[in-house]
Structure 1
Amino acid sequence: MLDGLAVHANTEERDRPPAITRMALTTAERELGLPAGALDLPATPPASSPDIADTTD
């Protein structure tokens, strides 16, 4: 998917309305049938889970 705003990919996000900074996410959520905000990053990172290689039988 191209968001049409790739020119801003490596620039500051200040002073941009949320509709612009979320354009790619909003489009993906709509096309995937997800609720608004489903692709947003969580406010806090999830608790780490053990690596599969670290488990023992």
Structure 2
Amino acid sequence: RRRTRVVGTFPDGKSALMLVCARLRHVAGTQWGNKKYMNMKHLEAVMDDAFIAG
């Protein structure tokens, strides 16, 4: 009997996990891992004003 089943990109869960871990290490080691998307000081000021008013 001939095998015709093709192995996919990730033959098992361990291979997928290794790819994800490698990608996370790359992101953590570059500027992407250090970028801040939101300045929390603005949110803190709004929350302080709401606490004082409320």
TM over 0.5: no
More helix by share: 2
Greater relative contact order structure (CA < 8 Å, 6+ sep):
1
The higher radius of gyration belongs to: 2
Structure 1 length-normalised TM: 0.28
Structure 2 length-normalised TM: 0.29
